[in-house]
């Protein structure tokens, strides 16, 4: 009986330890190689952005903070107009270069857009020719606070240095200021990866504890 109780205690300790390890791994894998994926630092740490990008803190799709940009002020009524042939439109971007983890399966990004043209390009950094994929061509689903989550397969970039660029533009300056917001950029492993860890880890920990 004492041996059985001891074995049960070992198994319980193994399960708890394995659960903690899996949770830590899941948290680390959620961010992947991306720095500041949900902008919860309250600034643009890790990102390179053109002018006019700011961090707002009134509720993103994952936490309080998110990156956001407004289109320029429209021309005031009665003010000088720009001839069509001189109107070059408006564009801005925010991007990050990082190493795609070797276990990467998909990348998702949450976008909230009020009518501007948005593309999210992922490409191998420094690759020639420059042939990106558009993450927004992937599957779309609803995310919190009016965001839409776009998810695309990225396993072909596993282990490579990549450039993720969010481009926001308009053919001409909109008559009213429009906003585009970005949040919660995640690299996700294949679901089977964590399942295998959950099954294998308790046995490995129990074996280790039994040897102590």
The percent of residues in the chain predicted with pLDDT above 90, rounded, is 58
Under DSSP, is residue 29 helix (H, G, I), strand (E, B) or coil? helix
- Let me know if residue 52 belongs to a domain: yes
Q: What is the pTM of this model?
A: 0.74
- Let me know if residue 197 belongs to a domain: no
Nearest to 37 by CA among 146, 186, 147: 186
**pLDDT tens-digit readout, 119-140:** 999 999 998 888 899 999 999 9
Domain harbouring 179, CATH code: 2.60.120.260
Q: Which domain holds residue 133?
A: 33-74+85-189
**pLDDT tens-digit readout, 156-211:** 999 999 999 999 999 887 888 999 999 999 998 855 444 444 555 555 544 555 55
End-to-end CA distance of the chain: 21
Domain count, the chain: 1
How far apart, in whole angstroms, are the C-alpha atoms of residue 143 and residue 155? 23
- Let me know if residue 164 belongs to a domain: yes
- Predicted pLDDT at 212: 56
- Let me know if residue 126 belongs to a domain: yes
137 vs 81, 100, 170, 177, CA distance in Å? Answer: 36, 19, 19, 26
- Predicted pLDDT at 74: 80
């Amino acid at each position: 009986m004492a041996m059985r109780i001891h074995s049960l205690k070992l198994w319980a300790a193994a399960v708890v330890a394995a659960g903690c390890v899996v949770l830590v791994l899941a948290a680390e894998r959620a961010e992947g190689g991306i720095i500041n994926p949900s902008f919860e630092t309250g600034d643009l740490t890790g990102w390179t952005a053109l002018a006019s990008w700011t961090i707002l803190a009134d509720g993103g799709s994952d936490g309080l903070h998110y990156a956001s940009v407004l289109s320029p002020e429209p021309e005031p009524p009665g003010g000088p107009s720009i001839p069509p042939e001189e109107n070059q439109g408006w564009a801005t971007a925010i991007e990050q270069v990082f190493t795609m983890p070797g276990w990467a399966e998909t990348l998702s990004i949450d976008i909230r857009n009020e009518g501007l043209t948005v593309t999210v390009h992922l490409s191998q950094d420094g690759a020639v020719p420059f042939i990106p994929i558009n993450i927004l061509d992937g599957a779309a689903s609803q995310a919190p606070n009016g965001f839409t989550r776009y998810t695309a397969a990225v396993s072909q970039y596993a282990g490579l240095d990549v450039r993720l660029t969010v481009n926001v533009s308009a053919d001409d300056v909109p008559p009213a200021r429009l906003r585009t917001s970005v949040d919660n950029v995640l690299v996700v492993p294949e679901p089977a990866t964590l399942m295998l860890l959950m099954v294998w880890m308790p046995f490995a920990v129990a074996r280790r504890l039994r040897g102590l």
